[in-house]
Amino acid sequence: MNSSEKADQGSLRFRYIKLCIFFSGLSVFAQLYLFQPILPMAAENFNVSVGDTSLLVSSSTIGMALGLLFFAFKADSYSRKSLMVFSLISSALLTIISTWIPSLSLLIAIGVFKGFVVSGVSAVALAYLTEEVSLTAVATAISMYLSGNTIGGMSGRILATLLAGEFGWRNAVLIIGIESLVLGIIFWKLFPESRFFNPQKTDYHQKIKQMKFFLTNLYMLRLYVIAALLMGSFVSVYNYLTFRLEAKPFSLSHFIIAFIFLMYIFGVFGTMIVGKLSKRLPHNSILKASILFMLVGACMLLSENIYILIVGLGIFTLTFFAAHTIASQMTALYAKRGKSSATSIYWLFYYFGSSILGSGTGYLLHASSWNTFISILMISIIFALLLATGSKSQSAQKIH
């Protein structure tokens, strides 16, 4: 088949791809971060510290990182659709099972396993889109996937907070597990099979060569480290903001705090804006501007005025998703071959950043203050900005 037969905007196939890829992002991220807003409840329930409960979130992202490392080698051995269906259904079942787990350690272990299986979606979603969707529509499709991630993250957090306040945190986990199972079944029924990819036996020598190329390529390495730093900073803020807003001087109720996660809507705007701008402006310029404004948003989080803090959180969220969207697009487009290797390494760094910074800053916050915590995150963002400044746009590379 020639490239003109790839799914184009307006076609029924493209509509199904867009809808299902959105649902996959919705399911993955609702599950991945559902514990984030209920960390104070879990800390109280298990009688442990802030840093210890943050492992409920970090366990899933560590599992995700490990899964991505595995799928970097094995993803091309499976049908794209079968792998994604398996990931969505099995992760939903694990979320449902975790409702009845009595011990924190076991819950953390299940989180690692759940992160591992769900990583199958992230490992191949961007590769699928760049293979199956026409070049003119690929930016729209990637934005739709990342919007699903964003809205999934937001709805999972808001639902978890409201449901936990009403029915207890375990029932909140159960309801989100059932919702994810339904999304997984819809995906299985409607998602189009690949036309431009056939599963092949893994050539480990070739895979290692591809991964070595990406890991020693300065352009890609900068993008990977930027992803780790920005994601780590972003997750840290949302992990511990609930604790901050419950304490003085804010003393907000659980119900009000739930709606802070509506800020994720700004993330959707971030991905949409970048989808449009990336057709007109150099990708690297968009990346630098996004990181710079993310720094401004982080600075505003130091404020003790609730309105300044909320505006700062909005800017921080919008520009994080803008930076992440353009960086993941730059990664997928740069790799002409070994797309799944290139994107798997991107997600690997992304989730390791989330796990290490996300939990590490919890212990830091516990030992010091909110201002020290935000200052450390600002240093991470400045470092990402310096890396983006050194990352000149380069033409796509081929691996022979």
Name residue 123's amino acid: A
Q: Which amino acid is at 144?
A: M
Closest CA to 390 of 295, 294, 288, 320: 288
pLDDT at residue 395 in the model: 42
Return the structure tokens found at 180.
Answer: 């994810």
All structural domains of the chain, each given as residue ranges with its CATH number in brackets, are 9-193+201-390 (1.20.1250.20)
Q: What is the pLDDT, as a whole number, of residue 391?
A: 60
Residues 163-175 have pLDDT tens digits of 988 899 999 999 9
* Collapsed DSSP state (helix, strand, coil) of residue 349: helix
pLDDT string in tens for the chain (400-residue length): 444 578 888 899 999 999 999 999 999 989 988 898 888 888 888 988 777 888 998 999 899 989 988 887 888 889 999 999 999 999 999 999 999 999 999 999 999 999 999 999 988 888 899 889 988 888 888 888 888 887 888 888 888 888 988 899 999 999 999 999 999 999 999 999 999 888 888 778 888 888 899 999 999 999 999 999 999 999 999 989 988 998 889 999 878 888 888 888 888 889 889 988 988 899 999 999 999 999 999 999 999 999 999 999 999 999 999 999 999 989 988 887 777 788 878 888 998 999 999 889 988 888 899 999 999 999 999 999 999 997 654 444 444 3
What is the distance between the alpha carbons of residues 144 and 192, in angstroms, rounded to a whole number? 16
Residues 186/20, Cβ–Cβ less than 8 Å = yes
Q: What is the DSSP letter of 278?
A: T
d(CA 326, CA 274): 7
Q: Torsion over CA of 126, 20, 318 and 261, rounded to 10 degrees?
A: -130
Q: Residue 151, SS3?
A: helix
Tell me, what's the pLDDT at 1? Answer: 42
Reading the block at residue 127, the tokens are 């590769």
Tell me which DSSP letter residue 399 carries: -
Distance, in Å, from the CA atom of 385 to the CA atom of 90, rounded to the nearest integer, reads 38
Determine the distance from the C-alpha atom of residue 113 to the mean position of all C-alpha atoms in its chain, rounded to a whole number.
Answer: 17
CB of 276 within 8 A of CB of 387?
no
d(CA 172, CA 248): 27
Task: Retrieve residue 101's tokens.
Answer: 């787990």
